Amino acid sequence: MLELIVGIDIGGTSTKFGLVDTTGKVRIHSSIATENPNIEGYITELAHAVRQAKDSLDEPVEFLGIGVGAPNANYKKGTIEDAPNLPWQGTIPLASLLEDEFNVSVKLTNDANAAAMGEMMFGGAKGMQDFIAITLGTGLGSGFVANGQLIQGHDGHAGELGHIAYKIGGGRLCKCGKKGCLETYVSATGLKRTVYKLLADHHMDSELKRYSFDDLNTKMVADAANNGDIVAKEAFEYTGKVLGAKLADAVGHTSPEAIFIMGGLAKAGDLIFKPTIKHFEKNLLNVYQGKIKILPSELDSTHTPIIGAASLILEDIENGKSVPV
C-alpha cells in the first residue's frame, strides 16, 4: 500500500493539488477551478478530482492526511476567514468539511506558512531551527520558524509581514485599508507601482513606457533591467532597498539563521537578491552582521505550495502527532 499525503494549494483562480509521498516527491498533480460559490459543491468537485488522481496511480493508495495552504487560513481553527479573493464569504470550516469527506486528518495554514514548512522538510531549511520564508507574489507572505516550530501565533495569524509598515501612517494605499504596507512596495504589484512612480517622477527613456499597468509583469521589468533599462534597474534597486531594511527589522524579532525568498519576484535572481542583501546588511545591528543568509528556495517552484501543504501532515507524522480522525 502506497502511503501518500494530499497537498492542496487554494488560490483565487485555481486549486492545485498533488499526491505527495513521504520523501516529498509529488507522484501526481492536477487542479480544479476555484469558482463554485457553494462550498459544499466545491468540496465535492475537489474530492472527485483527488480520487480520480488517486485511481490513476498503478498501486493501491492510502491517504495519511490532507494539508492545505490557503489565503486567510486559520491553523488553529481549520478555517478560512473572510478571504477577499476566494468565492466564499465569512468563515469556512474547510478542515472539517474535508475530514468528513476523506476521514483523515486535515491541517490548514496560509500559503507562506506552508512554504516555510516545505522548505524545512525538503528544502534549504532542512535541519534549521530558526528561519523565515518570504513569498513574493501578487502580495508578500511570510512564515516564521523558531525553535524548530512554525509560529502560528495566538490566533493563527502570525507572519503577516505584507502588512507591516514601510512608511508608518503614510505611503502607498494598501488593499487592506492601511497605508505604507510592505507589500505595496515589495511584491509583483509593488514593483509595478514603483515602475509607474519612476515613470511619473522622471523623464528617462524606458522601454517600460510601452506597457499598460494591467499588462506589465515582473518578467517584463526583469528583461528590461537585464537589457540595461535604467527605470527597470532602479525599480529593482528600490524594491531591494525596502525589502532589505524590513528584513533587518524582522531579524531583530526572531534572529533567524537564514531567510528564504521565493515566488515570482524571486525568479529575477540577482536583480532582487543583490540590492536586498546590500540594504539588509546595512540596516542590521552589529551582532547580526555577516551571519544571516538570504537565499532562494531550494524547492521546485512549480510544486512548492503543494509540497509545503503536505509537509503540515508529514511533520505531524514525524513527531508522532498524527491521529486519524
**Contact set with its own copies (CB under 8 A):** 72, 81, 128-131, 144, 146-147, 149, 151-161, 163-166, 168-169, 176-178, 245, 248-250, 252-257, 282-283, 285-288, 291-292
- Min separation Cβ 81 and its own copies, Å: 8
Three-state SS for 71?
A: coil
Q: Is the CB of residue 258 less than 8 Å from the CB of residue 124?
A: yes
- Min separation Cβ 212 and its own copies, Å: 30
- Min separation Cβ 80 and its own copies, Å: 12
Beta strand pairing call for 2-10 and 61-69? parallel
Rg of the chain over Cα atoms, rounded to whole angstroms, equals 20
Q: Is the CB of residue 173 less than 8 Å from the CB of residue 222?
A: no
- Min separation Cβ 125 and its own copies, Å: 11
Q: What is the 3-state secondary structure (H, E, C) of 225-255?
A: HHCCCHHHHHHHHHHHHHHHHHHHHHHHHHC
Alpha-carbon distance of 290 to 113, in angstroms, equals 26
**Cβ distance to its own copies smaller for residue 51 or 126:** 126
CB burial string 170-196: b at 16+ within 10 A, e below: ebbebeeebbbbbbbbbbbbbbbbbbb
- Min separation Cβ 157 and its own copies, Å: 5
C-alpha cell at 32: 480544479
For the chain, the first-to-last Cα distance in angstroms comes to 20
- Min separation Cβ 153 and its own copies, Å: 2
**Cβ distance to its own copies smaller for residue 69 or 159:** 159
**Cβ distance to its own copies smaller for residue 3 or 155:** 155
Among residues 272, 325, 319, 316, the alpha carbon closest in space to that of 100 is found at 325
Maximum separation of any 2 CA atoms in the chain, in Å: 65
- Min separation Cβ 67 and its own copies, Å: 19
**Cβ distance to its own copies smaller for residue 80 or 306:** 80
**Cβ distance to its own copies smaller for residue 51 or 253:** 253
- Min separation Cβ 76 and its own copies, Å: 10
- Min separation Cβ 270 and its own copies, Å: 23
**Cβ distance to its own copies smaller for residue 35 or 249:** 249
Among residues 30, 28, 277, 5, the alpha carbon closest in space to that of 117 is found at 5
**Cβ distance to its own copies smaller for residue 22 or 93:** 93
**Cβ distance to its own copies smaller for residue 128 or 317:** 128
Q: What angle do CA 192, 15, 174 make, to 5 degrees?
A: 30
Edge-to-edge strand list for the sheet holding 2-10 = 26-33, 14-20, 2-10, 61-69, 106-109
**Cβ distance to its own copies smaller for residue 99 or 111:** 111
199 C-beta neighbours (distance < 10 Å), count: 15
